[in-house]
Structures are given as structure tokens and as C-alpha cells.
Amino acid sequence: MEAAASPFPHLPEVPASQRAHAQSPLRYEDVSQDGRVMLLSLPHAMGLAVWQKLMVDSPVPRAAQHQGLVPLLTRLVIEGHGGPVSVRRPFEIDGGYVLGHTVDAGGEPNRILLATFAEVRAPRARTHGPPPEGAGTLDLVGKIYGEHVFTRPFGPPEARKVRRLELEGVPAVPPLRLPWLKHDDVLTPPASATGLTELDATVKDDEVPVLFGLMHSDSNQHVNSLAYPRIFEEAALRRLAQHGRGTRLIARYAEITYRKPCFAGERVRLLLRAWAGPHGAWVCGAFVAPEAGSGPESLARANACVRMLLTE
């Protein structure tokens, strides 16, 4: 994917205490037949470095939990790079986190955010066949960014929104100001994606209804955050095929915003819109309730919204 098409978030440098390194083996399903890393293998890598290694020793999640504060995932950005790689060589993962805030129209803090991020590298190699050019070089194969909003999900409605932290050793309002992306801002390609041809004039229903089962759920008792981009990529291929486009494609960028969880046993509609461009096809869409319309108000209240770039 061309860097010019990517709106991947920029993050500041953070101290060593907020960074960690980890390794992870690869599974066969993590690598495509041409040796590129699948996007959905990358969030697991961030989980290993940030949540399972770094956050274990951080006072922030423990202190927050005692106060009923939970950082809920509201946005996930995944970008694929490089390759080919072999399933026999592990990922090298460098991850970290930073606390920040957003402001309202008057400039007052209105959200406290936990931003997690990771860069994933792997040596150039092939699972089968002769080694590629530059074999053994450690290449960047992916980047991941997770945005979490602190809230009190089990508190009374008037106390759920968190504008300040009361945690020892942590500023009440972390000084870093982070931009806030509205839930439905991802329903069009990023401004940096130029030269696009509109394939759909507006969002239209996917031809296959989305039926969530227990296979899509996790221990948080709702549909797992990665189920949405997995289902969406398959729907994006169907939509492109309807327009006479080839489907020998792979997602290289995905941005998902989460507003409201879905649950096993639910049926939802998936609304999609596609564009073709010089660097691949952008497909954007939303998971909405069966009774929802396809107008701006319904889209703004979607359970989750996705924009995705697929390339050959």
C-alpha cells in the first residue's frame, strides 16, 4: 500500500516504562499465499506486547479497575506492510501506550483516552520455495493502533462519562491532546486517498445477512472486536465482484469504530459502499440494526463502522 493513501495515526514518543518488546509465533492462517501478513493477525501481536506484558506491570489498569473505570475500545486501526514472511519465523513486536484527552467545542476536556500501539516486524523469508531477495532482513510488516475511552459502564448513567482521572501518580487530565474521529467519519475514504472512481453512489445492503453466533463472541459476553473486519472483508469482496472487479485481493488497511456491541444470536444489516483507485479499492460500511434505515442518522448510530483498503 502506498504511504500517501494511509491515514494511520501519528503518536508521540513515550518513555521506556510505557514500551515493551515481545515475540510471537505465526500460524499458517496468519500469512497469505504470496507471503503477506494478514491484517487480523496483527492485533494479537499488540495484545502480547502491550496488554499481556506491559499492562501487567502498569499501575494504571489496576488502579482504574478499583474505581470501576474501564477503557472501552472505540477505534482500531490496522495497516499491513512488507513481506514475504515465513510462518516458521516469529514476529518481533514493539508496543506501547499513552494516556491522553479530547476536548469539546469549547476546548474543555471531555474524554480520557488510553491509546495503545505496536509495530510488528518479521524477517523476509518464504514458507515454501527459494528464499526471496533480501532474505533475513527484518521488515516492518504491520502497525496497529487501539483507542480506548475510559468510562464507568457499571455506574449510574450520570456517572459513566469520565472527564478526569483520580489515579495516584497520573495527571487528572493527561496533557496529551488527541484528535477525536466521529463514529461515522470512516464511511468515506480518507482525504489522502485521491484519484478514486465511485462504484456505489450511496451505501447499499450486502447480499448476505449477518448472523452472529457464539463463534463470533468472546469472554466479554459480546461479539469480538475482530469479527467485524473479518466479516467486512468478505462482504467487500462480494461487492467488488458485483461491479465486475477481480477478488484476488487482500486487505492492507482497516479502520473500525465501535459504538455499541452486537451479541450472539443477533441479526444485523451490513451497508457497503465501494470506490476504485490507483492503489486498490476502498470499501466503507456500517453494521446496523435490521430495522435501521440507510440515512445519515442511522449510520451515525451504527453498531460499528469500517473503512478498508484492499489491494492486489
Do the first three CATH levels of 3-159 and 183-311 match, i.e. the same topology?
Answer: yes
Q: What is the pLDDT of residue 3?
A: 42
Q: What is the pLDDT of residue 62?
A: 67
Residue 3: which of 147, 140, 183 has the closest Cα? 140
Q: What is the pLDDT of residue 118?
A: 96
The pTM for the full model equals 0.95
Is the peptide bond preceding residue 84 cis, with omega within 30 degrees of 0? yes
Which residues in the chain show pLDDT less than 50?
1-4
**Residues 201-224: tens digit of each pLDDT:** 999 999 999 999 999 999 999 999
Give the DSSP letter of residue 51.
Answer: I
Question: What distances in angstroms separate CA 57 from CA 52, 93, 205, one per listed residue?
Answer: 9, 18, 45
Q: What is the pLDDT of residue 4?
A: 45
User: Which CATH fold would you assign to the domain 3-159?
Assistant: Thiol Ester Dehydrase; Chain A (3.10.129)
Q: What is the pLDDT of residue 2?
A: 43
pLDDT, the chain, mean:
93
- CATH 3.10.129.10 at 183-311, yes or no: yes
Domain ranges (residues) in the chain: 3-159, 183-311
